[in-house]
Structure 1
Amino acid sequence: MEYMDILFDKHGGVVTITINRPEVLNAFRPRTVNELIHAFEQAGDNPEVGVIILTGAGDRAFCVGGDTKEWKSGVGYTGASWVGIGLPIDRLHRTIRSVPQPVIAAVNGYAIGGGNVLQVVCDLAVASKTAVFGQVGPRVGSFDAGFGTAYLARLVGERKAREVWMLCRRYSAEEALSMGLVNAVVEPEQLMPTVRQWAEEILALSPTALKITKASFNAETEHISGLTQLAFGALGLYYTTLESKEGHQAFMEKRKSDFSLFRNLRQEE
């Protein structure tokens, strides 16, 4: 596959995969997600690779989730059908978890919405002090009721995870560290050197032991994969509703969403 939306760099036993769409804060479109899946599969199947790093191009964003330009109101993302929402993001989550190598997220800026979920499903995360985290789904007519919620609760605790999703606030890198969302916070210029140092430490360890260790960690939360498939099926249906359409249109029109109608809709019927 020829990559247009990502960069793939292999240096020794380390592969760095970079979402390369800085003009849209590294938001992903269907092609981006398919390229990421392919890149992770290629790196995961290569016995010479011991660590995979995921990051975003530029210094403003790691990833801000789905590209709204690819969205069609009442339908979902380009290519959406009964098969899926048009973005195989649930497959990408499973791929990141299933590759045998540890995956480190180098969070260099905004990690919002689906971008935050991407770093959540990585094995480790190091953030720049400029990083900002948060979820926006209920504000814009979307949600991630799979790894984005259930696994997030494993990282930060049930109460905090509910706060993240039910208030849609933004959190600084230091706040993310204190809640257990990331492993470390460093100065912006030290982000990639630090992540590469972590990668070198990992390369000194037994790859088979790490593979089994990762699988062992995943086993306890693997049921979330099934929940994710159910959640994305529901999301595809939700995207066809007027309620989701209101959230998306409000975002595009830069106004506050008005969901009041939908709280009373069933009562009026």
Structure 2
Amino acid sequence: MELIDTILEKKNGVAKITINRPEVYNAFRAQTIKELIWCFREAWDDNTVGVVILTGTGEKAFCTGGDQKQKDGESGYDGKGGLGNGIGLEIENLHQTIRNIPKPVIAAVNGYAIGGGHVLHVVCDLTIAADTAKFGQSGPKVGSFDAGYGSAYLARIVGEKRAREIWYLCEQYSADECKEMGLVNKVVPLHELQQASEDWAQKILQKSPTAIKMLKLSFNADSANIQGITQLSMANLALFYQSNESAEGKNAFLEKRPVDFSTFRS
């Protein structure tokens, strides 16, 4: 596959996958998701690779979720009528690929991890963050949500009360705050982030690959039922994207004006 929105590098047993859309804070579109899935499967099939690192280009953003300029309630993110899950993004497939690849995935969060970008780091096995990174949700602000891994699995990590706070308030949290709540494993200065991720990858590579694989399968088993919830969530999200309420969130964001959902409470 010709990679346009991503970069794949393989070296010393590590596959590094970089979301490469810095002009939009590494927000993803349909093409981005397809490339990410391909990159993870390429790393999956390569027996010389034992660990995957997921990061973003630049110093500003890891990933800020779906590119709102690409979103359309009728035709989805792919412009083809929202085929598959109905929203035009193979996001369920990507989440499952990250979880199912029998190799640890380290999120190296170099900046904003917001919205769908926040969910991406949540589903990774480990997260190392730059001290400048910011985390949070934006879905309810722009007429969107992730009622699958982005909420249900998040609650497994940080607890119900904190997960509800993250989604209901849509505030942003520092890397240190996220480390305190168990959402981030380690915080380092920005200039040390990539090296710190490489160091952890090399430590994992020194361990038994079969043991690591079985441990990942075991960790995943307890939350495997969330996949079914995710399918229901995405089907409902596709319907929601066709509503005026969702459109208000998107339009307010693009027009850089305050959002007004008041008319949708009646």
Quick check: TM above 0.5? Answer: yes
Q: What does residue 120 of structure 2 align with? A: 118
Q: What does residue 79 of structure 1 align with? A: 80
Q: What does residue 155 of structure 1 align with? A: 157
Structure 1 residue 48, shift from structure 2 partner? 1.1
Q: What does residue 267 of structure 1 align with? A: none
Q: What does residue 172 of structure 2 align with? A: 170
TM-score by length of 2: 0.97
1:143 aligned counterpart, secondary structure: coil
Equivalent residue for 1:240, pick from 215, 239, 242: 242
- Cα distance change of structure 1 residues 82 and 20 upon mapping to structure 2, 3 Å threshold: closer
Aligned partners of 2:33, 2:105: CA distance in 1, in Å? 17
Q: Does the CA contact (< 8 Å) of 2:74 and 2:82 recur in 1?
A: no
Structure 1 residue 173, shift from structure 2 partner? 0.7
Q: What does residue 251 of structure 1 align with? A: 253
- Cα distance change of structure 1 residues 75 and 260 upon mapping to structure 2, 3 Å threshold: farther
Which amino acid is the alignment partner of residue 145 of structure 1?
A: A
User: Residues 4-15 of structure 1: matches in 2 within 5 Å?
Assistant: 4-15=4-15
Which amino acid is the alignment partner of residue 243 of structure 1?
A: E
1:219-261 deviation digits (Å, cap 9, x = unpaired): 0000001110110000000000111111111111111111111
1:72-105 deviation digits (Å, cap 9, x = unpaired): 2455323343532001111100000000000000
Which amino acid is the alignment partner of residue 208 of structure 1?
A: T
- In the alignment, is residue 140 of structure 1 matched against residue 142 of structure 2? yes
Q: Does the CA contact (< 8 Å) of 1:106 and 1:126 recur in 2?
A: yes
2:54 aligned counterpart, secondary structure: strand
Q: What does residue 192 of structure 2 align with? A: 190
Aligned partners of 1:80, 1:236: CA distance in 2, in Å? 10
Q: What does residue 44 of structure 1 align with? A: 44
User: Residues 90-105 of structure 1: matches in 2 within 5 Å?
Assistant: 90-105=92-107
Decide which moves more: 132-141 or 75-84.
75-84
Which amino acid is the alignment partner of residue 35 of structure 1?
A: E
Q: What does residue 3 of structure 2 align with? A: 3
Aligned partners of 2:30, 2:178: CA distance in 1, in Å? 28
Equivalent residue for 1:220, pick from 210, 219, 222: 222
Aligned partners of 1:82, 1:63: CA distance in 2, in Å? 24
Aligned partners of 1:23, 1:245: CA distance in 2, in Å? 23
Which amino acid is the alignment partner of residue 6 of structure 1?
A: T
1:197-220 deviation digits (Å, cap 9, x = unpaired): 000100000000000100000000
Q: What does residue 35 of structure 1 align with? A: 35
Percent identity, aligned pairs only, is: 58
- How many residue pairs end up in the alignment? 264
1:196 aligned counterpart, secondary structure: helix
Q: Does the CA contact (< 8 Å) of 1:141 and 1:243 recur in 2?
A: yes
- Cα distance change of structure 1 residues 233 and 46 upon mapping to structure 2, 3 Å threshold: same
TM-score by length of 1: 0.96
Aligned partners of 2:35, 2:73: CA distance in 1, in Å? 25
Q: Does the CA contact (< 8 Å) of 1:60 and 1:109 recur in 2?
A: yes
Aligned partners of 1:140, 1:75: CA distance in 2, in Å? 17
Aligned partners of 1:104, 1:247: CA distance in 2, in Å? 32
Structure 1 residue 57, shift from structure 2 partner? 0.4
Aligned partners of 1:75, 1:253: CA distance in 2, in Å? 20
1:26-58 deviation digits (Å, cap 9, x = unpaired): 111100000000110110121111000000001
Q: Does the CA contact (< 8 Å) of 2:69 and 2:254 recur in 1?
A: no
Aligned partners of 2:61, 2:75: CA distance in 1, in Å? 27
Aligned partners of 2:111, 2:19: CA distance in 1, in Å? 13
